């Protein structure tokens, strides 16, 4: 999807150079940061928008720094959507500066703030998309933002936003049912970084991780040892790595378990902060959620 999107972006730029601006007017050019944001905006914008997704598969949004080319893409867009709550921690300045010159929205701002998790005095948890129902609240806000930009088609955006919410509502029920099939004692998700707290709350599964809610800091020996203790004590049978996070920390945990003669399997790779490759089922938000749930249920049940 990303390639296609970039190509259409180029075509538009070429059309602009040739003075064929009329055609350009028919689409809203929208730059999005993560795949989850781009998926929502593309679904609601339909064929009236051209979405340029900055962060591809395997890209860690906590660590992503916008290159000069990325900044140019953001500047060219008519609107910008990002995830928010400091997920794009290294883009804070550029996003604030874009907000002064064009409509710029964080999906997090469309979501009930009282349902946002935080770590006591620490930062708010940005991984909202792991609670499918909570994330779906963003759709209404995106629909309204698009309608304000393109009033003539406001009804279309509202309709598609509602359809997207309905689909996600069904997906939420599906995830709830699937996770409930794991016996309670085994319902513990051990992952590379602490991205799954919303998933934990929404679907009643305990979570533990090597790193905190950002991947910015390296895990300490103490963190690793504590997790090894936890896995051995609770008899956890599988742990998971994440597609966008360096597996080094989890490797150390597995070695620690092996040294303690506790057998623990690699449950597979979860899509946490980035979706899968375009054109694959996990290259969409809904497909990514389904693939994660399939991987988790298979390894833990």
Question: Which residues contribute to the site for Zn ion (CB under 5 A)?
Answer: 195, 273
Q: What is the C-alpha separation between 24 and 156, in angstroms, rounded? A: 20
Which one, 149 or 191, has the nearer CB to Zn ion? 191
Q: CA dist 180 to 92, 100, 200, 274, 296, Å?
A: 38, 46, 12, 25, 11
Query: Smallest distance from the beta carbon of 39 to Zn ion, in angstroms?
Result: 17
Which one, 40 or 195, has the nearer CB to Zn ion? 195
* Four-CA torsion 15, 18, 24, 30, nearest 10 degrees: 60
Query: Smallest distance from the beta carbon of 123 to Zn ion, in angstroms?
Result: 11
Pick the closest to residue 37 from 139, 149, 169, 140 (CA basis): 139
Query: Smallest distance from the beta carbon of 194 to Zn ion, in angstroms?
Result: 8
Query: Smallest distance from the beta carbon of 62 to Zn ion, in angstroms?
Result: 5
Q: What is the C-alpha separation between 109 and 258, in angstroms, rounded? A: 44
Which one, 29 or 127, has the nearer CB to Zn ion? 127
**Cross-strand pairs, 238:** 265
Query: Smallest distance from the beta carbon of 214 to Zn ion, in angstroms?
Result: 6
Q: To 10 degrees, what angle do helices 68-76 and 92-101 make?
A: 20
Which one, 85 or 195, has the nearer CB to Zn ion? 195
Which one, 160 or 193, has the nearer CB to Zn ion? 193
């Amino acid at each position: 999807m990303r390639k296609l999107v970039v190509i259409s972006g180029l075509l538009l730029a070429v059309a602009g150079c040739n003075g064929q601006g009329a055609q350009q007017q028919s689409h809203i050019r929208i730059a999005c940061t993560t795949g989850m944001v781009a998926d929502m905006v593309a679904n609601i914008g339909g064929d009236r928008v051209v979405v340029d997704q900055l962060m591809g598969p395997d890209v860690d949004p906590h660590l992503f720094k916008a290159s000069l080319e990325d900044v140019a893409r953001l500047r060219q867009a008519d609107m910008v959507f990002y995830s928010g709550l400091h997920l794009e921690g290294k883009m804070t300045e550029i996003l604030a500066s874009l907000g002064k010159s064009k409509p710029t929205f964080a999906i997090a701002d469309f979501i009930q703030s009282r349902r946002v998790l935080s770590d006591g005095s620490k930062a708010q948890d940005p991984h909202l998309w792991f609670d499918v129902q909570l994330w779906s609240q963003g759709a209404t806000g995106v629909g309204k933002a698009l309608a304000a930009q393109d009033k003539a088609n406001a009804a279309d955006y509202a309709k598609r936003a509602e359809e997207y919410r309905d689909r996600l509502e069904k997906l939420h029920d599906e995830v709830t049912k699937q996770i409930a099939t794991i016996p309670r004692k085994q319902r513990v998700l051990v992952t590379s970084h602490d991205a799954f707290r919303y998933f934990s709350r929404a679907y009643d599964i305990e979570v533990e991780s090597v790193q905190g809610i950002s991947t910015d800091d390296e895990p300490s020996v103490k963190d690793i040892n504590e997790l090894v203790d936890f896995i051995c004590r609770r008899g956890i049978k599988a742990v998971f790595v994440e597609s966008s996070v360096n597996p080094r920390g989890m490797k150390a945990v597995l070695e620690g378990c092996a040294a303690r003669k506790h057998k623990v399997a690699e449950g597979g790779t979860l899509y946490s902060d980035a979706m899968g490759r375009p054109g694959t089922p996990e290259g969409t938000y809904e497909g990514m959620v389904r693939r994660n749930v399939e991987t988790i249920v298979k390894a833990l049940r």
